[in-house]
Amino acid sequence: MTILTELVTEQWAYRELLVRMTARDLLLRYKQTVMGFAWAIFMPLVNTAIFSVIFTRVAVVDVGGPYPVYAFCGLVAWNFFSSALRFSVTSLTSNPSLVTKVYFPREIFPFSAVLVALVDFAVSALVLGALMAYYRTGIGWPILFLPIVVGGQLIFTAAVALLVSMANLFYRDVKYLFEIVIAVWMFATSVVYPIGRVGGRLGAALALNPMTHLIDAFRAVLLERRAPDPVFFVTVAASFVLFVVAWSAFHLAEFDFAENL
């Protein structure tokens, strides 16, 4: 815990830089785009429409409620995770001059990518609320768990962001493998269909996927009006341990970053 305290203290000292980097990345992401922040809404809506046709007309899947709400809810949570990692993976290698010439906590780069994705997530969540209202999907007291659910996903996303950004700096082919892994990972997660119905050895393997438990908890408190399953809290605890390990490893390795850029 001493190492974690030192890391948090140092990060707090550079909090203003983190805010400025996040603002810069937000500006660069949507610079010279006509739709701007609407892209954070447009893509999940398009994907929801596509998967709604597939899973309500072609291969019908019963999700216990309106499928568009089910799919959009999963896509909002998944897009936060995948978008944060997509920008984190090259966050160090795309800023060589800053990494090699100026001292500050290098984890600011992947953290900034996660915060930018969090802004997109907040924008998409507004549309999710409107979609829930349209389909008359009520909410209950379990929505009080929502900050814990979002916080759990934020911790897990930040942990993986630290690992992939560091890995890509030492091994540049990571960014190419990432696109394959993230595509497979999505369909191995309860994003657009319930993974829990898969049985056998494959189902047992898929049950180890932490993103499924995080997204299922997101749906539980919003759509199903119930508290998250106990496995969610185990996932959050494991995510916190992973985050501490990833951050410590990142901090120890940053002295070698300049030599690999």
Q: Within 10 A of 223 (CB to CB), how many other CB atoms are there? A: 22
Say which residue, 28 or 182, is predicted with more confidence. 182
Structure tokens at 188: 């191995």
Summary mean pLDDT of the chain: 88
* Cα 259 to Cα 261: distance, rounded to the nearest angstrom: 6
Threshold 0.85, pTM exceeds: yes
Structure tokens at 113: 């990518």
Q: Which residue type does 235 have? A: T
Structure tokens at 93: 């290698």
Q: Helix 2-13 vs helix 15-30: angle between axes, to the nearest 10 degrees?
A: 60
Q: What confidence score (pLDDT) does residue 117 get? A: 93
Asked if residue 238 has pLDDT above 80, the reply is yes
Residue 78 structural domain: 2-260
- Contact at 8 Å (CB) between 113 and 84? yes
Say which residue, 29 or 120, is predicted with more confidence. 120
Asked if residue 259 has pLDDT above 80, the reply is no
The predicted model gives 161-171 an average pLDDT of 93
pLDDT tens track for 98-120: 877 778 888 999 999 999 999 98
Most confidently modeled range among 24-38, 76-90, 194-208: 76-90
pLDDT tens track for 34-51: 666 677 777 888 888 888
Q: Which residue type does 154 have? A: L
Q: What confidence score (pLDDT) does residue 177 get? A: 93
Written as one string, the DSSP assignment of the chain is -HHHHHHHHHHHHTHHHHHHHHHHHHHHHHTT-SSGGGHHHHHHHHHHHHHHHIIIIIS----SS-HHHHHHHHHHHHHHHHHHHHHHTTTTTT-HHHHHHS-S-TTHHHHHHHHHHHHHHHHHHHHHHHHHHHTT----GGGGGHHHHHHHHHHHHHHHHHHHHHHHHH-TTHHHHHHHHHHHHHHTTTTSS-GGG--HHHHHHHTT-HHHHHHHHHHHHHTS-SPPPHHHHHHHHHHHHHHHHHHHHHHHHGGGTGGG-
The predicted model gives 230-240 an average pLDDT of 96
Say which residue, 96 or 166, is predicted with more confidence. 166
pLDDT tens track for 174-188: 989 999 999 999 999
Residue 36: HSE in the Cβ half-sphere, 13 Å Cα cutoff: 3
How many domains are there within the chain?
Answer: 1
Asked if residue 1 has pLDDT above 70, the reply is no
The predicted model gives 9-33 an average pLDDT of 84
* Dihedral, CA of residue 68, residue 78, residue 147 and residue 159, to nearest 10: 170
Structure tokens at 175: 């960014």
- Contact at 8 Å (CB) between 243 and 156? yes
